[in-house]
Amino acid sequence: MAAKDITPLPHHIAFIMDGNGRWAKKRGLPRKAGHAAGTKNILVLIKTLAKYGIKYVTLYSFSTENWNRPNEEIRGILEILGQSIKEELPELHKNGVKLNHIGNLANLPTETAEAITDAIKLTENNSLMTLTLAFDYGGRAEIVNAAKNIVADKIPVEDINEELFESYLYTKNLEDVDLVIRTGGDIRISNFLLWQSAYSEFYFTDVLWPDFNEKEIKKALETFSRRERRYGGV
């Protein structure tokens, strides 16, 4: 099937990019090498999804729980992120990709947070695709944060509904997720976009993230196109 023959296609795809460490271990490399390979694969992903006209892509880059990893690995991930943004931003910007962030920038090193903020500012008027980095993000933390802000704004109880609650989420300017793809073999969502994926389709694969190439993306999109989405109806 060619790109034009796969229908329907999702508007918003979210990725749980799992398997970098195992990819490195299989090759006798340090975990940092796996994270570097996984980061390089992101550009391949974006170029491929652009061919299919996907408008929204969200990447689970670093969870609130990932702070529990060894300090050396955390430093490596943050270093790779900052370097990747600097290296890949010009091409992403040139091709009309808009950068977005969800999560908490306050916990990141100043240089990393500034790199993300500058990228968002530079690309704010782009429209080919919105690429969201979920960095220092957790679904439960997002929901708790929204509840706290609703209370702080003294919203009357009778005015609180799903639409209002969504307006307090990090993703208030994004569409709900149509398809969640998790690589690496695990079958769970790991605190990712709990509210936004209420009616998402899920695609799990044993392929490790650095090996999730154009062929694997096509397989996932073909699987999605065969799903019947009823949203609780018949």
Q: From the candidates 18, 20, 41, 178, give the one annotated as an active-site residue.
A: 18
Dist. CA 173–CA 24, nearest whole Å: 36
Task: Specify the pTM.
Answer: 0.93
Query: In this predicted structure, what is the pLDDT of residue 5?
Result: 81
Helical residues (DSSP H) of the chain, grouped into ranges: 20-26, 31-51, 71-94, 110-122, 139-152, 162-166, 214-225
CA atoms within 13 Å, Cβ hemisphere of 225: 16
Query: In this predicted structure, what is the pLDDT of residue 2?
Result: 52
Digit-coded pLDDT (tens) for 203-215:
999 999 999 999 9
Is 125 annotated as catalytic?
Answer: no
Counting as low any pLDDT under 50, the low residues of the chain are: 1
Digit-coded pLDDT (tens) for 46-71:
999 999 999 999 999 888 988 988 88
Gyration radius (Cα) of the chain, Å:
18
∠ CA 188-193-197, rounded to 5°: 80
Is 5 annotated as catalytic?
Answer: no
Query: In this predicted structure, what is the pLDDT of residue 202?
Result: 98
Q: From the candidates 66, 104, 126, 191, give the one annotated as an active-site residue.
A: 66
φ, ψ for residue 223, nearest 5 deg: -60, -45
Instruction: Say if residues 24 and 34 touch (Cβ distance below 8 Å).
Output: yes
> How far does Cα 223 stand from its chain's mean position?
20
Does an H or E element contain 136, and which? strand 129-137
Contacts with 22 (C-beta within 8 Å, 6 or more apart), sequence order: 34, 184, 208
Contacts with 80 (C-beta within 8 Å, 6 or more apart), sequence order: 32, 35, 36, 39
- All structural domains of the chain, each given as residue ranges with its CATH number in brackets, are 8-225 (3.40.1180.10)
